[in-house]
Chain A
Amino acid sequence: MRNAHQHRPSRRRALQMLGLGAAAAPFVPLLNASGQEAAYPKRLVLIYTPHGTIYDNWKPTGSQTSFTLGPILSPLTPFQSKLNILDGLQIIHSAVRAPSHTEGIGVLWTASNLSAGNAFNFQGYPFDWVEGPSVDQVIAKSIAGQTAYASLELGVNSGSNGPNNRMIYSAARQPVQPETSPSRAFGRLFANFVPPMGTGPDPALERARLEKKSVLDLVSGQLSRVKPRVPTADQQKIDAHLTALRDIESRLGTAAPSAVSCSKPMAPSAATDVPTVWANQFDVIAAALACNLTRVATLQLRVGDNRRSPPHLAQW
């Protein structure tokens, strides 16, 4: 798409205006950039890789209090004194209808069973969404309002939207899709971002904000008029859409982050190879946490019932 009209900046243009857009290099390791460790709030980051791991490469050796990390966890060695590593947990759930590997991902963070409904047909088996929220969303909701984003959901090759591929739920039967593009995730997070020592809101950005708000208001009005004209069972979908619009609208007003520990992050590269996308998603989470745009993040690495090793990590 060409930017034929310059009255209104697109998100990418907005980033360029802030001098953030053009960089292609991975962005700086922000968490290391600040020494203000004690000032950081508590954060929650959940990372999922399907079908377990190469156990011998993952498992620490030694005792519970004195141990050596295996090759997979070894990058965490500098933080070893702060680590708790759990092993041998089991997910027990009822209503196995589709292949159990397929159902596991939905149960993982929700501790809820899959619905007995029939919205999906998995290779001939009835199958449906999970009947409860995931733990990150419960926590995000309880601390909502403190950051621009209550939570951040990212993925890499996280697949089509179905109960077999979704792990995050905002409520019963309301899955949350992960963003699979680091560039788009970054653009969204930092579109309205004004660095702490910046010169204040740009008038063009302010106009774009008001314009966006007027579009959101119009669509919200339409949804409210549509709601009574769809079957009762579908009205929750209209409500979810309205909730999403309110969420987006509330962020239009929050231009600056409250933390001062954040310098100007650089946009992730547009590379689409799996190892780079994988690394960039971690960097987006790091940037969002460092800039206090959210305190809850999740990352889903590949589909729920994945049968292929990540191509760049054969030892996983």
Chain B
Amino acid sequence: MRPLWLFSTPSMLAVMGCTATIGPPVDGQGGDVPGGSASGGSEQGGPGSTTGVNPIGKDLSTVQLDCSKPNVGTNPLRRLTRSEYAHSVRDLLGGAVSSDSLPPDERVGAFPSNMAPVAALDVEDYLETASQVALAATANTAALLGGCDPVKQGNSACADRFIATFGAKVQRRPLDEAETSAYKGLFTSQSAVSFANGIRVVLEAMLSSPYFLYHFEPSLAGALAPSPLDGPARAARLSYLLWGSTPDDALLAAAQSGALGNADGLRAQATRLLADPRARDAVGTFHVDWLGVDELDQVTKDPKIFPQYDASMAAAMQAETARFASYVMLDGDHRLTTLLTAPYSFPTGPLLKLYGVTAPAGTNTPIQLDPTQRAGLLTQPGFLAAHAHANQTSPVQRGKAIRALLFCTPPTPPPPTVNAVAPDPMPGTSTRERFALHTKEATCAACHALLDPIGFGFEHYDAIGAFRSDDGGKPVDAKGNIAGTDDADGAFDGAVELAKRLGQSKQVAACVSEKWFEFAFGRAPAEADACSVQATQKALAATGGDLRELLLALVTTDAFLLQRQP
């Protein structure tokens, strides 16, 4: 599955390691970035280094690449995701937004990323949501005016101040003259009713603005060489990666001061952001989306077999995975191995019974689980229920998830003529027996040999993730086998053993780096990003799998600092 030719191509065996090149401090005045020449070692107008390596599904941590010139793939213009929008409104105004009042997200790979053009309906959703948010937020305008008193200082002065200060927060960059005067004109025309009405309509327009709705990163038309992003664009990348939300005042100030123009400044801000409670949103969202646990929103189970499964249990599963991941990454030892093997978690509500445990007294204390039954993310009900059928487990889907999400080597889809409907459970047969056809028929076996034997390792967990010792009246056989990987092949018995194997695999670590890249940029890495992906993989390898170090490395890669036109 995995092309090994990469490692034996002679032309790769040259030159130096990859280091991120940081441009000079870029101005934060809301203007355009300097031309391509500002970018470190890049030649004027010339392309960046071409490594010739497609980084998808590869561990590049020990590969020699030519990273002598900065390079970056193209980032298509994206709109905020539902979650980014809701978090941004929360942090700007304190209000809540129901995510289904916004257009549904596109899903690019594992993560939402909205790259398609909008249609009228989408824009109506944005307008209507902006209108409702602005209406609620201006019930009391005093909170928005930063201490300006319209009675003492005048309506116009307070409106000017609101437009400049709050506008820069909503739009994540200072307003230029054209934008400022457009908002002031709107205020003037709409404040005839009342001062508050003028502020409300201006706020509605700000929230309907392309500067708010899009991840707008100004670029010079026709600049084909990699060029540095300006300060505000870097600030927004930092906050949406690490908080899933809009920058705060301190981050916007750092963008203004030029502090995001060098690696130390970026690491300092990233470290500050990771210490903030908002980082839990981003880390939780990453893991829930990565493992497909977010799809439990749409998953139903057979009520005759799983009467206890309902929307609140699904929500508890998502919350558990998010909480556990943010605990390990932000409070714990930050290790990938721990994420994949820890014998504790944070079940709440209906999950306590599913696990057979009781709630602890402390709030930030993990609940210890039976280490022979549970090990990390992959033995949590969220992952197990998301990759199972309504009425039974699915060794195929669970095996496929491990290959696609942990090894970054998704299997070939079944041919269209295949009946992909799983055999119904029958009394007296185990799941393993019912799926045996896959390995008997030669046409199926080639691919399913890579899937089902991994999935059988999860047979101790039913379709909602409860531990079981009996399947169809027979003792569970959870023996499995991994084949076709770089460094994880071989037989194993049960998911706990599988999880330990995955936790030690370099291929898995490399894959997790790739997933964080996807999460950060809303796209898969391109050839031009090979050095950036490599930098994060190296950081992870060099620190024994410290995921915080991966993130700190990611924010100083070329992919993070630069942009390039297609």
Which residues of A are at the interface with B, using a C-beta cutoff of 8 A? Answer: 1-5, 7-8, 10-11, 98-101, 118-121, 123-125, 129, 153, 157-162, 170, 173-181, 184, 188, 211-212, 214-216, 218-219, 221-223, 225-226, 228-234, 236-241, 243-245, 247-248, 307-308, 311
Contact = CB atoms under 8 A, between A and B. Distances in A.
Interface centre among B119, B133, B298, B410 (most CB of A within 10 A): B119
A174 B193 CA distance: 40
Contacts of A178: 121
B131 interface: yes
B77 A237 contact: yes
A160 B104 contact: yes
Interface stretch (B34-42, B208-216, B482-490): B208-216
B19 interface: no
A308 B300 contact: yes
Contacts of B205: 215, 218-219
A158 B104 CA distance: 9
A123 to B, nearest CB: 5
19 contacts: A4-B139, A10-B135, A119-B115, A120-B109, A121-B524, A123-B410, A153-B121, A161-B105, A174-B117, A188-B128, A211-B201, A215-B201, A215-B205, A218-B185, A223-B210, A226-B214, A229-B218, A231-B77, A248-B127
B117 A160 contact: no
Given A176-B121, A222-B210, A121 B77 contact: no
Interface stretch (B175-183, B435-443, B534-542): B175-183
B404 interface: yes
A221 B185 CA distance: 12
Contact of A240 (B118, B127, B190, B421): B118
Query: Which 9 residue pairs are nearest across A and B when measured between Cβ atoms?
Result: A124-B410, A240-B117, A4-B139, A99-B413, A234-B77, A244-B123, A161-B106, A100-B416, A121-B109
B109 A3 contact: no
Interface centre among B104, B179, B186 (most CB of A within 10 A): B104
A108 B205 CA distance: 38
Contacts of B120: 243-244, 247-248
B93 to A, nearest CB: 11
Contacts of A231: 74, 77, 219, 221, 565-566
B506 interface: no
Contacts of B119: 153, 170, 174-177, 240, 244
B268 interface: no
A140 to B, nearest CB: 11
Contacts of B210: 219, 222-223, 226, 238, 241
Interface residues of B, number: 77
A282 to B, nearest CB: 18
Given A218-B186, A244-B122, A157 B298 contact: yes
Given A161-B106, A222-B209, A241-B123, A214 B76 contact: no
B32 interface: yes
Interface in B533-566: 565-566
Nearest to A212: B127
A276 to B, nearest CB: 16
Interface of B: 32, 57, 74, 76-77, 95, 100-101, 103-109, 112, 114-125, 127-128, 131-133, 135-136, 138-139, 178-179, 182-183, 185-186, 189-190, 193-194, 196-197, 200-201, 204-205, 208-211, 214, 216, 218-219, 221, 298, 300, 390, 400, 404, 409-410, 413-414, 416, 420-421, 524, 565-566
A215 B566 contact: no
Contacts of B115: 119
Given A1-B132, A219-B209, A248 B124 contact: yes
Contacts of B112: 160
Contacts of A243: 120
A215 B205 CA distance: 5
A290 to B, nearest CB: 21
Contacts of A219: 205, 208-210
A247 B124 CA distance: 10
B32 to A, nearest CB: 7
B31 to A, nearest CB: 10
Given A157-B298, A160-B105, A176-B119, 20 more contacts: A2-B136, A7-B194, A159-B298, A161-B104, A175-B116, A184-B125, A188-B121, A211-B201, A215-B208, A219-B209, A221-B182, A229-B218, A232-B221, A233-B76, A234-B76, A237-B116, A238-B210, A240-B117, A240-B118, A241-B123
B108 A121 contact: yes
B549 to A, nearest CB: 26
B201 A214 contact: yes
Interface centre among B116, B124, B196, B400 (most CB of A within 10 A): B116
Nearest to B422: A307
Interface centre among B108, B120, B210, B300 (most CB of A within 10 A): B120
Nearest to A153: B121
Contacts of B300: 308, 311
B92 to A, nearest CB: 15
A129 B116 contact: yes
Contacts of A129: 116
B566 A162 contact: no
Contact of B190 (A4, A98, A211, A222): A211
Given A160-B104, A218-B205, A232-B565, A99 B121 contact: no
A153 B74 CA distance: 32
B117 A226 contact: no
A172 B194 CA distance: 46
Contacts of B193: 7
A309 to B, nearest CB: 10
B100 A180 contact: yes
Contacts of B125: 184
B228 to A, nearest CB: 15
Contact of A161 (B116, B189, B218): B116
Contacts of A245: 123
B127 A215 contact: yes
Contacts of A158: 104
Nearest to A187: B128
B184 to A, nearest CB: 11
B86 to A, nearest CB: 14
Given A5-B139, A162-B107, A219-B209, A177 B122 contact: yes
Nearest to B95: A1
Interface centre among A212, A221, A228, A229 (most CB of B within 10 A): A229
Interface centre among A98, A184, A218, A308 (most CB of B within 10 A): A218
Contacts of B106: 120, 160-162
A1 B76 contact: no
A108 to B, nearest CB: 15
Nearest to A168: B119
A8 B197 contact: yes
Given A153-B121, A160-B104, A174-B116, A4 B136 contact: yes
Contacts of A212: 127
Nearest to A102: B413
B354 to A, nearest CB: 23
Contacts of B131: 10
A253 B104 CA distance: 28
Nearest to A96: B416
A1 B108 contact: no
A130 to B, nearest CB: 11
A123 B136 contact: no
A125 B413 contact: yes
B297 to A, nearest CB: 10
Nearest to A208: B131
A5 B566 CA distance: 47
